[in-house]
Amino acid sequence: MINLVTGASGFIGQHLVEALLLRGERVHALVRPSSSVHQLDKLGADVRVGILSDQATLMSAAEGVERIWHCAGLVGDWGQPDAFVQANVDGVRNILAVATRVGIKRLVHLSTTDVYGFPGRTTDERGSLAPRGFAYVDTKVEGEKLVMSHYQRVGLPVTIIRPGTVYGPGSAFLAQLADQLLRREAYTIDGGKHRAGLTYISNLIGAMLLAGDAPDSVGQAYNITDGSAVTWREFIEALANALNMPFPERNYRHWYAYALATGLESLYTLRGKLEAPRLTRMGVERMGSEQDYPIAKAQRELGYRPSVGLSEGIRASVAWLRKSGRVELESDVWRKGVEKH
């Protein structure tokens, strides 16, 4: 089978490309002109360079394709709203148009459990999508609505995957957290007591493949996490221990952190700063709310069984951090900072 993977050079996209190639399938790997394609070339993918706003490029990349895996998108707690709209809404609209014209057998759309708006309670796939005034969340909600509307109007065979917080080798989120731990800048919300809703990368890829293969998954959305009750404290503690670093001392109450983040965001907006403040409202909500998204539907309908737990996931993640040189490099920076004092 011939597949098109958008966002193929990204964290999730690259893992998916590798998994598809290991199954003996062909892959058109769509990447932006600025993306590094060394690893994709090494894997043997058919790299296609282009952007989601260019219909001609998308049509060329989708030529002969039977399945599209839409992993491309802008992820972040902070950024220009127009950039999120362009990537997560307009990009979805263009992919849907191309998928319809090509007549694909399946479109698997990568979404997020963040579309529930951080309700802080157990939420399955029947939960309402809830915009929160966060650019990422609101545009992912709108993108999902476009996908389901297209399915209902023209019958395009679609499946939506909603992972929790994804981590593992190649994760920018994991690298950032490790960096914060090494620099003694990491923090917790409410002592890290809330469930983290973690999704290890190989568990997610396995679920995506199952969903793409299952005929009955058409028109459906699935929560995908590790199915664990691991809290942020347990996750951060496991990573800190593996890095031989202490657990962060800095802790904020949820209400205080949210108020502080609101003020910081307003100040950064007023000053036109592009970098994210140290606290964002979305980041506070992610760590300060229960991330409990049951995977019973995926287990029942797809046969999904997450195989990698926290211990194995942390081991593999830290091995990647060390191999990539991130841990040693940032540790040296931290030591130099200590020596200056």
Q: What is the pLDDT of residue 324?
A: 85
Confidence tier at 321 by pLDDT (50, 70, 90): very high
83/70 Cα distance (integer angstroms)? 18
Alpha helices in the chain (DSSP H): 11-22, 38-43, 55-61, 81-85, 91-102, 135-154, 172-182, 201-213, 232-242, 254-271, 281-288, 296-302, 310-323, 326-340
Instruction: Judge if pTM exceeds 0.85.
Output: yes
Average pLDDT of every residue of the chain: 94
Q: What is the pLDDT of residue 155?
A: 95
Can you name the CATH fold of 2-170+196-229+291-309? Rossmann fold (3.40.50)
165/12 Cα distance (integer angstroms)? 12
Question: pLDDT tens-digit profile of 293-302?
Answer: 999 999 999 9
Q: What is the signed CA dihedral for 41, 43, 44, 48, rounded to 10 degrees?
A: -50
DSSP structure class, residue 127: S
**Residues with Cβ < 8 Å from 22, sequence gap 6 or more?**
none
Q: What is the DSSP string of 134-169?
A: -HHHHHHHHHHHHHHHHHHHH---EEEEEE-EEEST
pLDDT above 80: residue 339: no
> How many Å separate Cα 336 from the centre of its chain?
33
**Percent of the chain clearing pLDDT 70 (strictly above):** 95
